[in-house]
Structure 1
Amino acid sequence: MYFFSGIIFIAISIVMFFFVDLFSRAFPHEVMLFDEDVKQGYYHTGSLWFPIIAGIIGLFLIVLHFILQEKAE
């Protein structure tokens, strides 16, 4: 059960990375610097933390699956 949950979390992480990349290219937001307006994507806004955390949780669940499987034997 943990193995499939981990695979689902990793798949969700990949999909979230895809949408962050897609939205950063399609809808860049403007950032005001000292003397100019710059358009940038979502990479420096903290929105990448969600897929990173989902990927870490997925890897943790997969490792937990194998640890518990070895203890059961």
Structure 2
Amino acid sequence: MLKGIKLRLYPNRTQQNQLEQMFGNDRFVWNQMLAMMNERYQNNKALPFLGKFKLNYLLKPLISFFEKQRFFKLTGS
């Protein structure tokens, strides 16, 4: 049997800003990786789809690019 828990958060203004910043960072990384995958597919449609472990491997070279972005410095890892 699967069980779930519903949880409601009531963050204060500072916490809300931090959550918004983290979600924005996540969305930016997601969009960068999606653009990379789409470009890879457009260049060679015969290449196989990359799973999450291979995408994590490809993410490591992008970390230096992400560290240069000012808005990534506003939140922790």
Structure having the larger proportion of residues in strand: 1
Q: TM > 0.5 between the two?
A: no
TM-score (norm 2): 0.39
Q: Which has the larger radius of gyration?
A: 1
